[in-house]
Amino acid sequence: GSRSRGKSLFLPDTDLRKLLRAAERAKPRRQDNGRDKRVAGAGAVIGADGRSGKPMKTYVVIAEPNGEVVTMYPGR
């Protein structure tokens, strides 16, 4: 709908908890805002990029330094 237009979305059957656990193995990169960004591969299409609409096999997890997840989305 209009609220999700332009946003990267996961496919409905994607196991987000499994992706979060897998992303723990990816090396975090500290962002200027102090949060950690991890980019991980899922091995299969897990959603679509909001800008291009292209199917994505990679995803991003943004977390606080203490590990609290802020957001995650398909993309790079």
Residue 1: predicted pLDDT: 66
Alpha-carbon distance 61 to 67, whole Å?
10
pTM over 0.85: yes
Which of 60-70 are b and which e, b meaning 16 or more Cβ less than 10 Å from the residue's Cβ?
A: bbbbeeeeeee
What pLDDT, in 10s, does the model give residues 21-35?
A: 999 999 999 999 999
Distances (CA, A) of 32 to 4, 18, 36, 60: 27, 27, 9, 16
Higher-scoring residue by pLDDT: 68, 2: 68
Of 1-5, 7-11, 37-41, 46-50, which gets the smallest average pLDDT?
1-5
Backbone dihedral angles phi then psi of residue 29, each to the nearest 5 degrees:
-115, 125
Mean pLDDT computed over every residue of the chain:
94
